[in-house]
Amino acid sequence: MIQLILRRLVGAVITLWFISLLVFTLTEILPGDVATALLGREATPTELTSLRAELGLERPAYVRYGEWLSGALRGDLGLSLARETPILPLVLIRLRNTALLAAVTVLFSVPLALALGMLAGLLRDRLPDLLISVFTLIGMSLPDYVVGVLLILGISVRLAWLPAVTLVAPDAPLWQFLPNVILPALTMTVGLVAYLVRLLRTNIIDVMTSDYVQMATLKGVPYRRIVLHHALPNALLPALNAITLLIAGLLGGAVIAETLFNYPGLGRLMITAVSERDLPLVQALALVGAAIYISVNLATDLLTLRLNPRLRTQQNL
């Protein structure tokens, strides 16, 4: 088990280093630079050259990459060129806001997906299953921005229950975001629930038709006990990876929902940084998102290995 953990840790570190190199390379080859974005198209060549020298953009790329990587390892993500402020506090504030959005989304989506997935799987090909299947197909077909616009029209414009856009400052206390976080969370909940319901339905059907469930039925084990103690745990284990990776994606920044509702999270900050050509901020956000995704994926793999001894045996073969 220790060797497996060490192997996964080494693989995670190598993956994160490769992503940092890829992110830096891609941002370097983008057309234009931050000097042009800051000074505008009317800037003279002399002004552009002076600002590039001031920002250190004239140095070789490998030198800037080495400094950026060494700083990131020390927790120093550098300065935002467009804002002239340290990047780390800026990212931490937005990460806090995105974490709140992700928590509310998970609170909405996971219990609903579990209930609908179990109901559809246990009542296979009956009316509830057919209705749930229609919902999941619609939910997976609608893009997030369409769902968000419909929610804005229905809940914000016609009913005036919740604000359509977030006007709260990014560093405001979390409780001030509560009215503003519901619509973005609901926007992402539709697609997540549709995906998880189809996954859980398939798992429940597979487990309920397995040999050990049929044997338990023949032995007279109560149906409720079969579902709760045999079927549900075995159906949830394969879905654990999907649920945690979806959570990692939320923490990395829900770009569409945050942009649509002007929610000050990591996704919104990434869009702003790209539009401003703030390459250090873009690089930092990409690295933070990759680190979150890799960390959650690693934790999920280790948890799955812990809960399923057969996987540990297969890994050692």
Q: What is the CATH number of the domain that holds 237?
A: 1.10.3720.10
Does the structure show a pLDDT above 80 at 17?
Answer: yes
Q: Mean pLDDT score of the chain, rounded to an integer?
A: 80
Which has more pLDDT, 188 or 84?
188
Kindly tell me if the per-residue pLDDT of 32 is higher than 80.
no
The Cα 117–Cα 273 span in angstroms is 39
Q: What is the pLDDT of residue 313?
A: 54
Q: What is the pLDDT of residue 317?
A: 45
Distance in angstroms (rounded) separating the CA atoms of residues 300 and 316: 18
Per-residue pLDDT tens digits for 111-166: 898 889 888 888 888 888 899 888 888 888 888 888 888 888 888 888 878 888 88
**Is residue 45 situated within a structural domain?**
no
Whether residue 36 lies inside any domain: the answer is: no
Counting the structural domains of the chain, the total is 1
* Confidence band of 198 (pLDDT split at 50, 70, 90): confident
pLDDT for residue 253: 65
Asked if residue 147 belongs to a domain, the reply is yes
- 168-185 pLDDT, tens digit each: 888 888 888 888 888 898
Q: Pick 105 or 309 by higher pLDDT.
A: 105
Task: For residue 256, tell me if it sits in a domain.
Answer: yes
Burial class (CB in 10 A: 0-12, 13-18, 19+), 20: buried
Dihedral (Cα; 179, 182, 184, 186), 10-degree rounding = -160
Q: Would the pLDDT of 99 be above 70?
A: yes
- Does residue 258 form part of some domain? yes
Q: Is the pLDDT of residue 310 over 70?
A: no
Q: Does residue 30 carry a pLDDT above 70? A: no
- The domain of 240 spans 93-276
> Residue 28: is its pLDDT beyond 80?
no
188 or 250: which leads in pLDDT:
188
In a domain, 4, yes or no: no
- 196 domain-assigned: yes
> For residue range 231-244, what is the model confidence (pLDDT) as tens digits?
777 777 777 777 77
CA angle 237, 102, 121 (to 5 degrees): 35
- Residue 248 maps to a domain: yes
